[in-house]
A and B are shown apart, each in its own frame.
Chain A
Amino acid sequence: MTAETADSTAIPAKAGPSLGLLRLAEAVSIPVGALLVSAVLFALFLLAIGKDPIQFYQLIWTGGFGSSFSIQNSLQRAAPLILTGLAFAIPARIGLTMIGGEGALVLGGFSAAAIAIPLVSNAVPVPLTLFVMALTAVVSGGLWVGFTGWLKYARGVNETIASLLMSYIAIAIMNFFVEGALRDPASANKPSTMPIGDAYRVGAIPGTEVHWGFAAGVVLALLLWVLMSRTTFGFAARMTGGNLRAARAQGLPVGWLMVVCCAIAGACAGLAGFFEVAAIHGQANASLVAGYGFTGILVAFLARQNPLAVIPVAILFGALAAAGGVIQRRMGMPDATILVLQGMMFVVLLVSETFYGRLKLFQPRATGERT
């Protein structure tokens, strides 16, 4: 018995790399490997249509990170992806597959633009207006996805289907108002809400052309990482996500936890919508429906639902999007090419999920101590 006690308390010293390190190595290697495999597959696709894959990847590099301008462009595009990535990652930690980021983004952006109309026309001070806009976006997005979480908990409605359908409803709500009651008469070709005006725009981070949404995303990702890994709330959420029965048996308020996680997700996506309106478009219109919500799913997947990892992955995808234009011009390929690449990544990534816990390389060395 003494031998067991000694073994159980002091292992890592002799038994090779520590468990934590192995798990980290696994969590990094598998997604990176999946990215490389999808890059190779996409290269084959390029060869098949008679394009040069090397030129393609070079252009991705220059278009995404090649110059100060392209880096800033990438970061700018990464901003909403960080937030929508979080919108998928947080519910995933509690075991919910919420794909409603797109809807919450659109609704958040639209409600921010709508609340801005009376504020701007009454010349309310800029900081207050932006604050109210952001708050409205966060609250409306949070309620929207939180409601889907409540449906799941209280009524057993499949959250994946519900959140997808709720996205279409959100888009329809925006279209209804943008093409009707809240339409700016001046927006003839593209129905939009009244522009908030340049004075009310969110500016750039000093010294760059990247708007503050990027900074907000990074800060939120850090905060949510702390929330999920170092607080009792995050612990309870991970328990619930890992084993609902065990969480219930510990008397945890699983319904409340689910709804709050979903509300956080919706708030993140709603905030992304706010920045799209306040920093990019200046008004709400169909441009909000740009697929950031759906790309966010891919981002979160690649980041293994880890809020910290969402940041670099979102930047990578921001770079891909930024390079899309260059590819279109220089290689004569449609900008949907990037979507093909993304789709390929997603499929390979889903396949790579099956490798977790199966690769010998990442398993602790057998100690022969197990009974």
Chain B
Amino acid sequence: MAGRAPSLEAIGMTKVFGPLVALDDVSIKVEAGSFHALLGENGAGKSTLVKCIMGFYSADKGQVRLDGQEVAIRSPRDARANGIGMVYQQFTLVPCLTGAENLVISRADAPAVIDWAKEKKHLDAFMAEMPFRVPMNTPVSSLSAGEKQKLEILKLLYLDQRFMILDEPTSVLTPGEADEMLGLLGGMADRKEITVLMISHKFREVKAFCDHFTVLRRGRFTGAGDAKAVSVPEMSAMMIGDTAIRERAARKKHNEGADRLELAGLFAEDNDGLPAIRSVNLKVKAGEIVGIAGVSGNGQSALVEALSGQRPLSDGGIYINGEFFRPKRGSFDRYKVFGLPEEPLKNATVPRMSVAENLAFRSFDKPPVAKLGWWMSPGPMREKARELIARYRVKTQGPDAPIETLSGGNVQRAVLARELSGDVDVLIVANPCFGLDFASVADIRSQIMEQRNRGAAVLLVSEDLDEILELADRVAVMSGGTINYVARIEDTDRNTIGQHMAGH
């Protein structure tokens, strides 16, 4: 089996989605039998690149060469036929079937009626050659995450896919499981049995297990090299870039305010009951923006959900001006807490309700919209809506149009109008500019800065480090569900932040 590892080269890959250039003339060379890391921030184009190689997308330009021969990959089926396989972040095994059954049914040529005795014999012969074991006769649902991940890799080997693309394969594993699995893959690559291309954020793993790496930033190739020879700061410089920080939004200098918002030992669980955030401690002063940086999926969204009442806390408490804060409607009003959640159409609006109704979410149960606390009059509601639409320049067909008919930037502006038109003491913002055009971005950032200048405590969760560097007074880095680094923005730099983002 040795010496069967293929080499793969992608040359000049370009992929454009509408106005967005996701991949701009990117080339990558993966030698046969190497363990190659693909590094980059969110949105750098890593997934687009591997999806082009896998045939999920067809690249607008560029070619893929396998063992020096150009291959045409138009669909995942072509990739499979060429021996290119992928392990995804989420498992793709059927939980109620056994490992053996999963392998057999994954075959493209699995017969309609399966002769299990024969297949078992084949499998046993196959397993005898494998360097590691997974229980093959128990349902996949009873396997540990590490075993499932190994089974995913076995599946690729079983299907004879010897060029493996792994998409952050260790994100679901414990550090021990991760090291074991990466060690096994490294060993197989050394024996030239397989070639691995691994998307990763974790420098430690890259340094310990990979031999080569390629870095992308904003859809472009920014560097490649020998993973053992190049240092972590150099890699993170390629990843994050050292471009000059853009002119900051006008920031008013003022004396430090009092502690306004305090998160004290917050714990919360994700939808599967696993810890999503653990022991999050943070203080935000009045008139200060604290930016929470981090790689997506390290607990930031759970934190925002917990602060905005969408996710219960399992332990800890939120305090505002030293008083216990429960994220309920009355408290939002009393402590003047407002929020700009990420994906506003999903988190902050009811798509089918009208713009006027959506603009009234904070005020529908208070005068003048509500009389006696329960009777609503549409007149004042529309009047207020017209005023906000004009003031915040929301482009809509009118106050009665369903908000889902607005463009993304205008939905965000409508939410901004609703949340920022009053008196704000605490503002919780998450990825406010995600997917918006430059004009909207500048507009929204200056609105956030204006709230800070007026004395609001602003918590800004963002996956865009540039945004945090532009807006924040202090930065906190979230990794593995907790905050492991806090610093004043003057006292830190991209590389330090980047390394803490990667879990150092």
Residues on A close to B: CB < 8 A? 1, 4-5, 7-9, 11-12, 15, 18-20, 230-233, 235-236, 238-239, 242-243, 245-253, 364, 367, 369-371
Contacts and interface: CB of A to CB of B under 8 A. Distances in A.
Nearest to A238: B353
Contact of B396 (A8, A235, A246): A8
Given A243-B349, A243-B351, A250-B329, 15 more contacts: A8-B390, A230-B376, A231-B376, A232-B374, A236-B365, A243-B346, A245-B310, A246-B347, A250-B332, A250-B361, A250-B362, A251-B332, A364-B401, A370-B395, A370-B407
B87 interface: no
Given A249-B339, A252-B329, A12 B375 contact: no
Contacts of B390: 5, 8-9
B386 interface: yes
B122 interface: no
Contact of A8 (B330, B341, B348, B398): B398
A233 B372 CA distance: 13
Given A8-B396, A9-B389, A250-B361, A19 B309 contact: no
Contact of A371 (B373, B375, B407): B407
Contacts of B254: none
A245 B393 contact: no
B374 A233 contact: yes
Nearest to B401: A19
A11 B398 contact: yes
A252 B309 CA distance: 9
Interface string B346-377: 11111111000100111011000010011110
Contacts of A15: 397
A8 B329 CA distance: 30
A247 B330 CA distance: 14
B347 A231 contact: no
B424 interface: no
Contact of A9 (B329, B386, B405): B386
Contacts of A370: 395, 405-407
Contact of B397 (A19, A238, A239, A242): A19
A251 B374 CA distance: 17
A247 B347 CA distance: 9
Contacts of A7: 395
Interface in B401-416: 401, 405-407, 409-410
Interface in B192-228: none
Interface string B319-356: 00000000111111000000101000011111111000
Q: With a 10 A CB-CB cut-off, give which of B339, B364, B386, B406 has the most chain A CB atoms.
A: B364
Nearest to B337: A251
A230 B353 contact: no
Nearest to B389: A8
User: Which of A1, A232, A242 has its CB near the most chain B CB atoms (within 10 A)?
Assistant: A232
A232 B364 contact: yes
B136 interface: no
Contacts of A250: 329, 332, 361-362
Tell me if A's interface is mostly helix, strand, loop or mixed: helix
B350 A19 contact: no
A5 B365 contact: no
Contacts of A238: 350, 353
Nearest to B439: A371
B8 interface: no
Contacts of B373: 232
B394 interface: yes
Contacts of A19: 397-398, 400-401
Contact of B310 (A12, A242, A249, A369): A249
B308 interface: yes
A367 B364 CA distance: 30
B359 to A, nearest CB: 12
A15 to B, nearest CB: 7
Nearest to B397: A11
A7 to B, nearest CB: 7
25 contacts: A8-B398, A9-B386, A9-B389, A11-B397, A11-B398, A19-B401, A235-B364, A235-B365, A236-B365, A238-B353, A242-B351, A242-B352, A243-B350, A245-B310, A246-B346, A248-B309, A250-B329, A250-B361, A250-B362, A251-B309, A251-B330, A369-B397, A370-B407, A371-B407, A371-B437
A20 B398 CA distance: 11
A231 B400 contact: no
Contacts of A246: 346-350, 361
A232 B365 contact: yes
Nearest to A5: B390
B143 to A, nearest CB: 26
Contacts of B365: 232, 235-236
Interface string B273-309: 0000000000000000000000000000000000011
A141 to B, nearest CB: 24
B374 A231 contact: yes
B376 A232 contact: yes
A8 B405 CA distance: 13
A240 B196 CA distance: 47
Contacts of B405: 370
Nearest to A370: B407
A248 B349 contact: no
A29 B328 CA distance: 41
Nearest to A227: B374
Nearest to B415: A246
B426 to A, nearest CB: 13
Contacts of A242: 350-353
Nearest to A247: B350
A11 B400 CA distance: 10
B328 A251 contact: yes
A249 B341 contact: yes
A11 B396 CA distance: 9
Contacts of B308: 248-249
Nearest to B377: A230
Contacts of A248: 308-310
B256 to A, nearest CB: 30
A243 B394 CA distance: 21
B346 A245 contact: yes
